[in-house]
Structure 1
Amino acid sequence: MKKQVSSESSSHEVELIIGNSNSNFSGVTSTMLQVMSYQKNMVNLRIMGPHFLPDPSLAISFWETAKMCRSPLKNGKWRVFHARRVDEMIQGILLKYLFRAKIKLVFSSAAQRKRSASTVWLTRKMDAVIAVSKRSAGFLCDPPDLVNPHGVQVSDYLPAKDKPQAWAELGYGGKYGIGILGRVRKQKGVHLLVEACLELFDKYPDYHCVVVGAISSSNKEFVEQLKSKAAKAKLSDRITFTGELPFEDIPKIFSALSLVAALSDNEGFGLTVLEAMSSGAAVLATQAGAWEEIVRPEVDGYIVPVNDQQAVTQKMDMLLSDPQKLEQMGIEGRKRVENHYRVEDEATRLIEFFRNLQ
């Protein structure tokens, strides 16, 4: 149930400051922007950093924050500073302990790796710590105060009413689409999907694969090797590397795909799987990020071990062999996201947590 905007939230006093320190667009940035789009209707907030903001009036500088937070809110409560990156934790600590800002520090952690001693120290200076998945919670130095999984904009990522027709309209070829989306590099498991396609596509002539994402100069050789393998197998016309596409085109591709692969070695959370499921695509994902917590094997798709070519090929063979089952998995995935992984629910849980923190 959505929380009603209180008179306090609609006052001129800012209650929430959100870190936005990275000038490069990332998954953390995307998450922050999606969540913020709902939070701004629930609480008076500002974003500390101007990067990628659709509404520049929400931006506030470090120095403006320090000045504003010298005093608490009129009701005596302290504002909340929400950090999602290590450097944002540092900014929050400087504000609170050097500039004496009246703020509560909250850190959301997605990383799935052992923390350095300095990061442990920073984390323990927070007033509260949130994990974005049960798995990421296990890598924290202390148990989190809240586990709050990410959500997705279900109104943006919609299933096509007729996936074969939607796929045909994209013009890549074939009757059904398979895709992997994100930066094109080995760590993302792109080679695993391409190798599986090379082995299976003679058996399944109706399928076409797209690899969607930016290719950096350091990964051009990796991509050229994959293209060479496809050409040698005479499958170049069925495996397309699109390069980086405009962001507004991505939901249309998700919508038309029947199967999305997410085969990374590691992830913080991995929104790709939620975007795919929301779009009515079955998923084939590795044991990375929060994917094991999200995907129900044989219901929404399959989970395979990291960097296991045999498992990827075997499960993809099972998925492609039954288009009706593939379609049903997409339907079930959409239901799961609608019931458990909506971004507005993530935003509401955060605001309720911040208010109880005071």
Structure 2
Amino acid sequence: MHALDDITVIAPHFKRRLSGVTSTVVQLIPEQRRLGLGILTLGPGLPEHLPKMRWSQLAGLWRKPAKAQRRVWHARRNNEMLFGVILRDLLRMPLALLFTSAAQRHHSRYTRWLISRMDAVVATNARSGSFLKVPHTVIRHGVNLDEFKPAPEATDRLAGTGLPGRYLIGCFGRVRHQKGTDLFVRAMIELLPSHPEWTAVISGRITSEHAGFADGLTKDIAAAGLSDRIRFLGEVDDIKPWYQRLTLYVAPSRNEGFGLTPLEAMASGTAVVASDAGAYAEMIVEGETGAVVPAGDYEKLKGAIAQLISDPARAMQAGKRGREHVVEEFALTGEAVRLGEVYASLLTNPSSKPMIEAKSIEQAGT
């Protein structure tokens, strides 16, 4: 159990299942700690190595930290915002509320109310920021360059995988319509027969809700006679080596919040073809690190993939440039430093939000 005296930031995580937010928290908090920030997370669904506070320590938030007048409660979901409002406004704990928004849609009345109660708001990209009706700061996610890195030059990328071919193309993430997994599979069924040196892999959770969707893809692959060259890996314990094995990564999402996988792929030295969902278009340098196509546009997605698998040398060069681009623009340290500046402002400036009563919270949810 961590003492709270030197803790100035609480990053709640109120979801058990793995998500993009989970990935962000898992990568970011150790970097923030490395830079000297006193930060703990609270909640389920996170690895044991992350520094956490216990629910039994919540009462300790009534006491101010040793070197500040209050703490920052950094929420990333509605339930985390609501919990922060209750702690600050009803229980009168000395907290400043910060919300990071990745959503690219118009917010519900309830969410808008919660956002209006925040002391500061961060958007993960310009498009997400365009849906906010309050002042905000854009801070793009970064990637851990020590964790996600290219394989050594002499490495045989497919060694030990048991997969056929010479080059690997992949699509990672939850297997569902929203993620465009079907678009990737369709492109592979149509392209791989003309490119015998390439094999495709798909990794990610298949929930019961989307099992029928995944079964349909498996049947399509079998009907095309490509079951040996389009493989479902399921959820793998460590995705990093698979990024290193790829020559091309495809992110065909129809809808996305931010989306870290293209950054992870480029950091690993892999070229990327992505839709313009989420912040993908802000990550990729068109024609240099890969290509961006309109979300849901199958023909343009297929065309962009075809150009790179037809020229593996070009794909590998794009992967090298992708690594350089991520180092220059998307290092995790940069995200941690910019968030640190927001935290510092909140820790030194008094809250401008008036306290509210329980009845107001009830009315906001109706």
Note the C-alpha offset of 1:59: 1.9
Q: How far apart, in 2, do the equivalents of 1:75 and 1:196 lie?
A: 56
Q: What displacement does 1:76 show?
A: 5.2
Separation in 2, partners of 1:236, 1:51: 34
Correspondence for 1:156:
147
Cα 1:49–1:221 change in 2 (3 A) is closer
Cα 1:193–1:57 shift into 2, 3 Å: closer
Distance 1:296 1:57 in 2: 36
Does the CA contact (< 8 Å) of 1:177 and 1:208 recur in 2?
yes
C-alpha displacement at 1:26, in angstroms? Answer: 1.5
1:166 matched to which residue of 2? 157
SS at match of 1:311: helix
1:280-328 Cα distance to aligned partner (Å, 9 max, x none): 1111101101001111111111111111111111111111111111011
The residue that corresponds to 2:303 in the other structure is 314
**1:50–1:56 CA distance, 2 compared to 1 (3 A):** farther
Query: Does structure 2 conserve the Cα–Cα contact (< 8 Å) formed by 1:50 and 1:59?
Result: no
- Write the distance in 1 (CA, Å) between the matches of 2:252 and 2:52: 36
TM-aligned CA distance change 1:179 to 1:354, over 3 Å: same
Preserved contact between residue 163 and residue 255 of structure 1 (Cα < 8 Å): no
- Structural mapping, 1:118-197, within 5 Å: 118-144=110-136, 146-162=137-153, 165-197=156-188
SS at match of 1:298: coil
| Number of residue equivalences | 344
Q: Which amino acid aligns with 1:326?
A: A
- Distance in 1, Cα, partners of 2:216 & 2:307: 27
Identity %: 38
Aligned residue in 2 for 1:102: 94
Distance 1:189 1:57 in 2: 35
| Aligned partner of 2:290 among 274, 285, 301 | 301
Contact 1:109/1:131 (<8 A) preserved: yes
Structure 2: 5+ residue runs without aligned partners?
349-366
SS at match of 2:163: coil
CA–CA distance in 2 between the matches of 1:122 and 1:77?
Answer: 23
1:337 correspondence with 2:337:
no
Work out whether residues 41 and 50 of structure 2, in 8 Å CA contact, stay in contact via their aligned partners in 1: no
1:124-166 deviations in Å (ceiling 9; x for gaps): 110000011111101112231x111111111111112348712
Distance 1:153 1:228, change over 3 A: same
In structure 1, the gaps of 5 or more residues are 1-9
Residue 217 of structure 1: how far off its partner (Å) = 2.5
Judge conservation of contact 1:163–1:256 (CA < 8 Å) in 2.
Answer: no
RMSD (Å) for aligned C-alpha atoms: 1.9
Question: Equivalent residue for 2:360?
Answer: none
Contact 2:288–2:322 under 8 Å retained in 1: yes
Amino acid at match of 1:110: A
How far has the Cα of 1:256 moved from its partner?
A: 0.7
Query: Could you tell me which of 107, 112, 122 is aligned with 2:104?
Result: 112
Give 1:23's aligned residue.
Answer: 16
C-alpha separation in 2, matches of 1:141 and 1:236: 48
Change (3 A) 1:12 1:311: same
Q: Distance in 1 between matches of 2:313 and 2:89?
A: 59
> Where do 1:174-323 residues align within 5 Å?
174-246=165-237, 248=238, 250-323=239-312
Q: Distance in 1 between matches of 2:65 and 2:213?
A: 54
Q: Contact 1:284 / 1:303 at 8 angstroms: preserved in 2?
A: yes
What is the CA–CA distance in structure 2 between the aligned matches of 1:27 and 1:51, rounded to whole Å? 12
In 1, Cα distance between equivalents of 2:72 and 2:5 = 16
8 A Cα contact 2:140 2:335, kept in partner: yes
What secondary structure does 1:80 align onto?
strand
Q: Distance in 1 between matches of 2:192 and 2:111?
A: 46
Deviating 4+ runs (over 6 angstroms): none
TM alignment of 1:1-40, pairs within 5 A: 12-40=5-33
Shift of 1:72: 3.0
| Residues 267, 323 of structure 2: 8 Å contact kept | yes
Evaluate the alpha carbon distance shift between residue 229 and residue 102 of structure 1 in structure 2; reply closer, same or farther with a 3 A threshold. Answer: same
Normalised TM-score (structure 2) = 0.89
Deviation at residue 14 of structure 1 after TM alignment: 1.8
Aligned: 1:354 with 2:343: yes
